Each structure stands twice: as structure tokens, then as C-alpha cells.
């Protein structure tokens, strides 16, 4: 039955063939302009009626006739290629045709597209239902050519090659801030762990999720392009045993934006963990960190959230962060040391520079700062 369906898809009807022939005969093109590209038809003209390098076209959307440069038009593909799964399969491979194909696929909730051996993923505005355990099993054991474009197809291809060649495999995620690199990395790891399985209790999906919860707290912030941008690069490594199961995992991180703590870009935030602590610390911890009277003009720009919903969200994230640390075996004492260091950083920024008549208050802040730093390493002031 599956073979018959594939053959049906490959065989074109007479109507499709006629429509394609008409398309090629009319010479459809894309007119590239500052707002994007528009579909047009090249009109036949008498030889010498137009200056060299010019062509006459008719815009499809309003019928406007224009004389344009040849360099401003690109060949358009027939409508049958509008939602091609592989951009490399387009008859005319150019920027406008690829963007049109990706836009058509995105309109049909098809956010994944092959591009030869690579994959293009358009980050959706909301979390789609296509990432689930049920969908994972649809890709289990399949070959790349037998599956629809999906990040799980990439993971399955790498896993299959790993088992057949007994050689290391790599998946590289590229894109600008907010494109979904970190999220898709989590999808890839989740698929491999779910499909391959894991041995023992050293590694588990719960522990891996806890790792990302901590990384997000200490390495993510709000920027002008992304409300939760990862400001670190990371390399994830999974080790498999002879049976093909995940035996262990490691992650190397490079925090490339440390300066953000002391020099926060305008209209952006510092790292999430500061806001989590300021919103989630209970009475005892707030007293210990001297956060009962938060400074409204911190020199580092670390301000507590003003909106109730933001405070509530930060509180929930702080609780989630504490739970993640517990999963990874970080003791209460070790957590306390972290909160003390974060509190010291906050007070260091809040101290800033003051006027002469505020020296007394500034001195108290520096005293508290010294006390917090010493307490974080197990010492105290005499």
C-alpha cells in the first residue's frame, strides 16, 4: 500500500502537466524590490524596443506594467513546488523562490524544511504540538528519505549513522538570537535519550532538564531581539555504549557576555537569576541578603520587577531553579553560598557613587557587601 501511494505521488496528472507547461510558457518571474519580491510575467517585446538590459513585466497582483533591469528579476517555480520539502529540489534555485517556499510551508504550519543535507527551521511564535513522545516514535528507525522534514529526522539520521558506522556524529545549530538554537538542541537531546534509552541512574532526562534550567537562569537575559536570549555558547556531548544506549552526557559552556553584569546594554536586562532571587527569596533569605530595602537606582541596572505577573513568573522560576539544583545534588549550603554571592554583586552595584552627604549610607552598603562576600566563603567580620 505504501509503495502504491508513493508511485501515485510521483505520477503527475494531465491537468498538472498542462498547468506546468502553461506556467513555463508564460515565463513567470519574481521582481525583487526593497519590500521583498512580487510575482510577475515577462511580456514579449519587439527586438530593440527596450534599452539593453531591460525587460518588460506585468505584476500579477495589480496588472501594473513596468520596465525593469534584468538583474532585478529571478525565475519563479511552478505552484507545484510551493511547499517542496527540500529547497534543493526547486527547478529554479534563487533567494526569492526559497523565501516563497519557506513562507508557504510556514503558512501550513510546516516549520521544518530540508536544504540538501541541511535543515532550515523557522522558529514558531508558540510551542507547536509537533514535539511529543508520539511524534518521536514516528521517526524511530526511519531513513532520512522516508521521513518528512523535522528536527527529529536530523537526530534520527545522526543516531542511525552512529550505529552503522561506529563513528562520532555532530549536529551544528546556527542562527541569530531568538532563532531557536537552544530550544532545538533540547529537542535533539530529548529525542536521542527517549529513542536510544539510557543505562543506569547516572544520566536521566530529569537531570538533563535540570541542567538547562540552571543554564537558563545564570546564562539567559532579555534583549531587544529576544525576551529570553541565551548569552552563552555550549557544546553537548552524549556517550553511547555498545548497545546504542546513552551512557553519559556532558556539556561545555562559554559565557561570552559576562560584562552584562556591570555594563547592561540600554533597554536590556542582566541575567535572569538576579530577578529570580529578588522575587523568590523568602523572609529569612531576604534578611540575610539585606534585600528588604531594594535600591531603585542600582548602578548595575538590577531592578526588581514592577509588574505583578512578572514578579509571579520570577518567583515560580526561582522555585524551579531550587528544585533543579536539588535534582543535581547541589546542597542547601551550596545554594546559600550562591545566593550570598549574587546578593554581594547586587549591593556592589547598588552602592555606586554617592554625594558627600550620603557617605554614611554608602559606607553601610560597603560594610554589608564585605560581610556578604566573607560569609559566602565561610568567614565573618570581627
* Domain identity same for 130 and 195: yes
Q: What is the DSSP string of 303-346?
A: ----SHHHHHHHHHHHHHHHHHHHHTT--HHHHHHHHHHHHHHH
Reported as a single tens digit per residue, the pLDDT across 314-354 is 999 999 999 999 999 999 999 999 999 998 888 877 765 44
Boundary (domain end) residue, out of 237, 259, 281: 259
Boundary (domain end) residue, out of 215, 236, 259: 259
Q: Which residues pair with 236 in a beta bridge?
A: 251
Reported as a single tens digit per residue, the pLDDT across 214-239 is 999 999 999 988 889 999 999 999 99
- Between CA 234 and CA 250 the distance in angstroms is 10
How many domains is the chain built from? 3
Output phi, psi for 220, to 5 deg. -110, 155
Q: Which residues contact 130 (CB under 8 A, 6 or more apart)?
A: 111, 150
- Whole-number percent of the chain with pLDDT over 90: 56
Calculate ∠ Cα 121-122-123, nearest 5°: 110
Q: Which residues pair with 7 in a beta bridge?
A: none
Q: Could you identify the residue written with the cell 523557522?
A: 122
* Domain identity same for 358 and 242: no
| Burial status of residue 152 (CB atoms within 10 A of its CB: 0-12, 13-18, 19 or more) | buried
Determine, yes or no, domain membership for 81.
no
* Domain identity same for 301 and 341: yes
What is the pLDDT averaged over residues 276-296? 84
User: Residue 277: which domain range?
Assistant: 271-376
Determine, yes or no, domain membership for 102.
no
* Domain identity same for 145 and 71: no
- Between CA 288 and CA 27 the distance in angstroms is 75
* Domain identity same for 279 and 170: no
Output phi, psi for 337, to 5 deg. -60, -40
User: Model's pTM, two decimal places?
Assistant: 0.80
Reported as a single tens digit per residue, the pLDDT across 166-221 is 999 999 999 988 889 999 999 999 999 999 988 777 788 888 899 999 999 999 99
Report the relative pairing of strands 65-69 and 220-221 from DSSP bridges.
Answer: unpaired
- Between CA 77 and CA 83 the distance in angstroms is 11
Boundary (domain end) residue, out of 226, 259, 292: 259
Given a cut of 70, whether residue 362 has pLDDT beyond it is no
- Between CA 241 and CA 251 the distance in angstroms is 18
Amino acid at each position: 500500500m505504501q509503495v502504491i501511494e508513493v508511485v501515485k505521488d510521483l505520477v503527475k496528472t494531465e491537468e498538472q502537466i498542462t498547468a506546468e507547461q502553461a506556467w513555463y510558457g508564460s515565463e513567470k518571474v519574481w521582481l525583487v524590490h526593497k519590500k521583498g519580491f512580487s510575482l510577475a510575467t515577462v511580456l514579449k517585446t519587439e527586438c530593440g524596443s527596450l534599452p539593453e538590459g531591460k525587460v518588460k513585466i506585468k505584476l500579477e497582483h495589480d496588472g501594473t506594467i513596468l520596465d525593469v533591469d534584468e538583474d532585478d528579476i529571478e525565475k519563479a517555480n511552478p505552484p507545484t513546488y510551493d511547499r517542496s520539502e527540500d529547497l534543493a529540489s526547486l527547478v529554479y534555485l534563487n533567494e526569492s523562490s526559497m523565501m516563497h517556499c519557506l513562507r508557504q510551508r510556514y503558512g501550513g504550519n510546516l516549520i521544518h524544511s530540508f536544504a540538501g543535507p541541511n535543515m532550515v527551521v523557522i522558529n514558531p511564535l508558540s510551542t507547536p504540538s509537533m514535539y511529543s513522545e508520539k511524534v518521536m516514535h514516528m521517526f524511530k528507525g526511519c531513513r532520512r528519505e522516508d521521513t518528512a522534514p523535522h528536527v527529529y529526522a536530523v537526530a534520527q539520521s545522526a543516531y542511525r549513522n552512529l550505529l552503522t558506522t561506529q563513528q562520532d556524529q555532530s549536529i551544528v545549530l546556527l542562527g541569530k538570537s531568538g532563532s531557536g538554537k537552544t530550544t532545538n538542541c533540547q529537542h535533539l537531546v530529548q529525542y536521542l535519550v527517549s529513542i536510544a534509552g539510557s543505562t543506569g541512574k547516572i544520566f536521566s532526562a530529569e537531570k538533563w532538564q535540570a541542567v538547562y534550567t540552571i543554564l537558563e537562569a545564570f546564562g539567559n537575559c532579555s534583549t531587544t531581539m529576544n525576551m529570553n536570549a541565551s548569552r552563552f555558547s555550549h557544546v553537548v556531548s552524549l556517550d553511547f555504549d555498545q548497545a546504542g544506549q546513552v551512557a553519559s552526557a556532558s556539556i561545555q559552556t562559554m559565557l561570552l557576555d559576562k560584562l552584562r553584569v556591570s555594563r547592561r546594554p540600554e533597554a536590556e536586562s542582566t541575567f535572569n537569576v538576579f530577578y529570580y532571587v529578588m522575587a523568590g527569596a523568602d523572609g529569612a533569605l531576604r534578611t540575610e541578603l539585606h534585600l528588604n530595602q531594594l535600591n531603585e537606582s542600582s548602578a548595575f541596572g538590577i531592578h526588581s520587577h514592577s509588574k505583578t505577573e512578572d514578579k509571579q513568573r520570577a518567583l515560580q522560576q526561582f522555585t524551579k531553579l531550587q528544585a533543579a539544583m536539588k535534582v543535581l545534588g547541589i546542597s542547601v549550603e551550596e545554594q546559600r553560598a550562591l545566593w550570598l554571592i549574587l546578593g554581594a554583586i547586587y549591593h556592589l552595584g547598588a552602592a555606586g557613587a554617592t554625594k558627600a552627604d550620603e557617605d554614611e549610607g554608602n559606607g553601610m552598603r560597603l560594610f554589608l557587601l564585605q560581610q556578604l562576600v566573607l560569609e559566602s566563603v565561610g568567614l565573618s567580620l570581627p
